[in-house]
Amino acid sequence: MARSVWKGPFVDAYVLKKAEKAREGTRNEVIKIWSRRSTILPQFVGLTFGVYNGKKHIPVNVTEDMIGQKFGEYSPTRTYYGHAADKKAKKK
């Protein structure tokens, strides 16, 4: 179910603070965040966020299309290298 409109988009406060600081400082630096649950707001466009995936911060360059989605969507948490067993079975 979608979130009620009257609540407004959810963003962790520290993400907002960091983003504001980065926009004043014009230098395009990766903003490290752990908050994968935060919504991507219009004022984040053009900034680069390092979204934590449980292991490291994945750099995400925010574009206009991403607005309204969550940061977590851009930082995959699972690694999949295929099934090693398949190859073993073939060799036998």
Partner 1 sequence: MARIAGVNIPTAKRVPIALTYITGIGPAIAHQICEATKIDESRRVNDLSDAEVLAIREYIDANLTVEGDLRRETQMNIKRLMDLGCYRGLRHRRNLPVRGQRTHTNARTRKGPAKAIAGKKK
At 67, list the tokens: 């607005």
Residue 27 DSSP one-character state: S
Helices (H), 1-92: 13-24, 84-91
**Nearest distance from residue 65's CB to partner 1, in Å?**
6
Instruction: Tell which one of 73, 79, 81, 84 touches partner 1 (CB under 8 A).
Output: 73
Closest separation between CB of residue 55 and partner 1, Å?
16
Whether 18 contacts 50, CB under 8 Å: no
Q: Site for partner 1 (CB under 8 A): how many residues?
A: 15
From 69, 79, 81, 82, residue interacting with partner 1 (rule: CB under 8 A)? 69
